[in-house]
Structure 1
């Protein structure tokens, strides 16, 4: 298995890049998050990789972080989710956003990604629960997740975008009640 490649970035043709490693050009498919983090052509680049061997091709997938690669590997283990869909998921949201969607069991966030329908989103939520650092534990943490979920739903119902509400949620201290959390989030979003 090829686990890492370091070389010179030759070209970017989304979602594929070409990396020259000592005279050998490797075509590597990358999620958009990794593509945006890459420097200009001609720069030295190091990527974590995952090799998928099929009957008709050997395809390399590249990732900027170990978390992205781990999430990709968890996604492709799910029945009905291939490498293309896994790449689309990681292109549509960060690993942290995916983990939060799994923790809060929000299928709607996943269905916004092209190629992910309601059934696939529900299967992802079910099979990834507890695998992407998504579980925050039991007891008090469960109450916190419920409160955060309620705050998130309240803010989106008020017309704020998912990005705005997620950013506001990060600023709210753990253990805050739903009512206080909504008030705090509204103050943050009013700025």
Structure 2
């Protein structure tokens, strides 16, 4: 089991990271909430990981916090929730937000996530109610939102490219093209980079509980 990786961040994109450690490059699937917390390429990064082996594939999933990783492990034990859906859930809600949804039995926030229908949301609330007690000691009150990331440096993509990248990221997460376009247009401002735009679009689509 690969439980943690610390190394140089070689590449990053919404949903993926490439980390070099001891001469090996690890391709890691990450939720968007982790993507938003990654440093610039070339800097050192530490990710808490989960290694999954199937008959047809081996996948490594990475998370900015141990709490997110541990919640991911609990989510994939829920009936009909696999790694892909668990990553989608943690892309829209970080671990602390998800735990609050469970405690408040807030199905409305969960059904806004792509791939989560009403029945799945209800199943999550029922099955996770007892399981989140395993995370006791890791859950802390949420901190204020981090300040928006400053604009890209000189030579950065055009505003149109930034919007296109943000829309593509939301579509890849499972939102419909029209939903992605509408969400991005609501929060887009001049000088905003794609990372900030994606984060704000997701926040707008999934209001805090």
**RMSD across aligned C-alpha pairs, in angstroms?**
2.0
Alignment partners' CA distance in 1, 2:207 and 2:46: 32
Q: TM-score by structure 2 length?
A: 0.63
CA contact (8 A) 2:111 2:117 kept: yes
Alignment partners' CA distance in 1, 2:43 and 2:207: 35
Match in the other structure for 2:70: 70
Partner-residue secondary structure (3-state), 1:130: helix
The correspondence of residues 142-153 of structure 1 with structure 2, limited to 5 A, is none
* CA apart distance, 1:162: 3.7
Match in the other structure for 1:90: 90
Unaligned runs of 5+ in 2: 137-205
Match in the other structure for 2:43: 43
* CA apart distance, 1:19: 0.5
* CA apart distance, 1:13: 2.5
* CA apart distance, 1:95: 1.2
Alignment partners' CA distance in 2, 1:162 and 1:35: 19
CA contact (8 A) 1:49 1:60 kept: yes
Please identify the structure whose Cα radius of gyration is greater.
1
Alignment partners' CA distance in 1, 2:123 and 2:50: 23
- 2:126 paired with 1:126: yes
Match in the other structure for 1:11: 11
Partner-residue secondary structure (3-state), 1:128: helix
CA contact (8 A) 1:99 1:133 kept: no
Q: TM-score by structure 1 length?
A: 0.69
Which structure has more relative contact order (CA 8 Å, sep 6+)? It is 2
* CA apart distance, 1:131: 2.1
Alignment partners' CA distance in 2, 1:84 and 1:162: 22
Alignment partners' CA distance in 2, 1:126 and 1:69: 20
CA contact (8 A) 1:78 1:127 kept: yes
* CA apart distance, 1:108: 1.2
Q: Could you list the runs of 4 or more consecutive aligned residues of structure 1 that deviate by over 3 angstroms after TM superposition?
A: none
